[in-house]
Amino acid sequence: MTFPAARPRRLRRTPALRRLVSDVHVRPSDLVLPVFVKEGIGSPQPISSMPGVVQHTRDSLKKAAAEAVSAGVGGLILFGIPAVKDARGSGADDPAGIVQLALVDVVAEVGDALAVMTDLCLDEYTDHGHCGLLTDSGEVDNDATLDRYASAAVAQARAGSQVIAPSGMMDGQVAAIRTALDAAGFATVPILAYSAKYASAYYGPFRDAAECAPAFGDRAAYQQSFARSASEGVREALLDVAEGADAVMVKPAGAYLDVVRAVADAVDVPVAAYQVSGEYAMVEAAAAQGWIERERIVLEQLTAIRRAGAGMVLTYWATEAAGWLR
Ligand code: PBG
């Protein structure tokens, strides 16, 4: 007996058929816009390695937040850049620090029209640029850093953060932050943990944007090695869930889709993926040369990240892409 030839192309023939059978979608509300706010600047400062992205003033940030709301974006995540940095990253938990002040502004501007999240780390606030406190010998001191994160989490919650997102990759950071938030009366504030965060060259442009390149060394002693199997990312995510993470993140996204898939299969909480600064910069640079089609490639990448299992995607294109998707 002979079988009729398989013809997968039948369902690709027309746009209507292709749309009908598509089962991976990117909605504006899946997207989260990372934004930078800098203390003491009079006008938004362009970031040369991230064309189209700026360091905001408190005023221009409010405008960007309102635009994200109009576009239907799901959330934004705030990074603060203080005018003065010190060894302990004092700006991170100062109630009058830039991120706390900007947070109050943004929440007042957009209410809960989108989720207002805060990145929680010390690297934007330390003069040495590392994500934690240093020991005398210059190593990042895991446990001493946890107290700083706990304090910063409470400061962010007090200023109105609706999701706290620790990105420093200290062991035990989620438990420390959860305990502190609960003790301070913020039991209802969720934690989105940067769980599987790799020591990545893709963060290069971000370090211009957030002025946080390490003054010496690199972050390989605390961020993950990309030369390890995806199971290590799963282990990190499961630990964070056990410590109380309400959602987990994989970062970067595009080169780590195997990790996104493995984590999505392993956890029962929402999974986010962060399409980072280097991913953005590479597309913008090639598009500026006319070598690729910018909009098509951005949508292809965002769809691939969703296809790998991420529910939310953090992307610098969030507002613009949301406009294309409506
Ligand atoms: C740390 C942090 C980094 C990014 C987000 N949070 C930088 C780093 O770990 O060096 C990178 C984001 C990007 O590259 O877009 N606070």
What spacing in Å lies between the alpha carbon of 206 and ligand 1's midpoint?
Answer: 6
Give the closest residue (by CA) to ligand 1 atom 9: 203
Annotation says 62 is catalytic: no
Give the closest residue (by CA) to ligand 1 atom 14: 203
What spacing in Å lies between the alpha carbon of 269 and ligand 1's midpoint?
Answer: 22
Residue 231 one-letter amino acid: S
Instruction: Specify the CATH class of 24-325 in words.
Output: alpha beta
- Kindly give the pairing relationship between strand 75-81 and strand 31-38: parallel
Q: Which residues in the chain come in under a pLDDT of 70?
A: 1
Q: What is the pLDDT of residue 3?
A: 80
What spacing in Å lies between the alpha carbon of 213 and ligand 1's midpoint?
Answer: 10
DSSP bridge partners of 34: 77
Q: How far apart are the C-alpha atoms of 261 and 239, rounded to whole Å? A: 17
DSSP state of 172: T
Q: What is the pLDDT of residue 2?
A: 76
Check if 279 has its Cβ closer than 6 Å to any atom of ligand 1.
no
CB 160 within 8 Å of CB 116? yes
What spacing in Å lies between the alpha carbon of 274 and ligand 1's midpoint?
Answer: 10
Check if 206 has its Cβ closer than 6 Å to any atom of ligand 1.
yes
Give the closest residue (by CA) to ligand 1 atom 8: 203
Expressed in percent and rounded to 5, the helix, strand and coil fractions of the chain are: 45, 15, 40
Look up tokens 């990145």; give the residue. 119
Annotation says 251 is catalytic: yes
DSSP assignment of 84-145, as one string? Answer: S-BTT-GGGT-TTSHHHHHHHHHHHHHTTSSEEEEEE-STTTBTT--SS-B-TTS-B-HHHH
Tell me the three state secondary structure of residue 164: strand
* Residue range 25-48, pLDDT digits in tens: 999 999 999 999 999 999 999 999
* Residue range 142-168, pLDDT digits in tens: 999 999 999 999 999 999 999 999 999
Longest dimension (CA), the chain: 79
Q: What is the pLDDT of residue 1?
A: 66
